[in-house]
Chains A and B, each alone.
Chain A
């Protein structure tokens, strides 16, 4: 692959009611091996995936929420969260995990991965992508 493409994964489903969220995460991690310019967007019920403090011991399912913290290691540094979706659900950025990536070129300085965007800003981001994957 000679040319770097902009890959965007759009996540719109809650984490445990369906398999979409976990499948998306696996595809993202596998796709990271292709070293493209990857972004993630969380909108609609997808914002629920990033809520902090998830504890699945009572429902007997794998808690994959810690895996989102590994995205930085996979050089995924652009995670867009849609503001309207959070507000509609009674959530704020404080309810979400604090996701960071470490900049190797700046002595592993921690930088925020999550970018809070409005729907129209997200539309602009989506418009610039080469490939969109929807989950």
Chain B
């Protein structure tokens, strides 16, 4: 039973990333969208929360915020809206940490 976790808040402004990352297990994956994408910036304090997790970020939200792919921590997959849909389909459930 793999679950897709969505986080859309900045990790520096809300605790949803903390909650999501600590509740994730097994084959679960995390997709960062909207202000959630800031968590994947290399050298940021929040990046430590993502260690060992399967992470994707939504490309259009990165671009809007001026975060280049070179600014991201290693091992992050950048997806577009179609990739977002694929991830929803590939998982049994979606948990959105609003």
A: residues with CB less than 8 A from B are 13-17, 44-45, 48, 51-59, 61, 63, 65, 88-91, 95
Contacts and interface: CB of A to CB of B under 8 A. Distances in A.
Contact of A55 (B35, B47, B64): B64
Contacts of B93: none
A14 B65 CA distance: 9
DSSP majority for the B interface?
A: mixed
B41 A15 contact: no
Contacts of A57: 63
A63 B13 contact: no
A89 B45 contact: yes
Given A14-B13, A44-B12, A59-B60, A90 B35 contact: no
A17 B8 contact: yes
B10 interface: yes
Interface in B62-76: 63-68, 71
Given A17-B8, A48-B10, 16 more contacts: A14-B10, A14-B35, A14-B65, A17-B34, A44-B13, A45-B35, A48-B38, A51-B67, A55-B66, A58-B59, A58-B61, A58-B63, A58-B64, A89-B38, A90-B47, A91-B41
Interface string B43-59: 11101000000000001
A88 B45 contact: yes
Contact of B35 (A16, A56, A95): A16
B9 interface: yes
What is the interface of chain A mostly: helix, strand, loop, or mixed?
Answer: loop
A89 B40 CA distance: 10
Given A17-B9, A17-B35, A65-B66, A59 B42 contact: no
Given A16-B35, A45-B12, A56 B64 contact: yes
B45 A59 contact: no
Contacts of A91: 41, 43-44
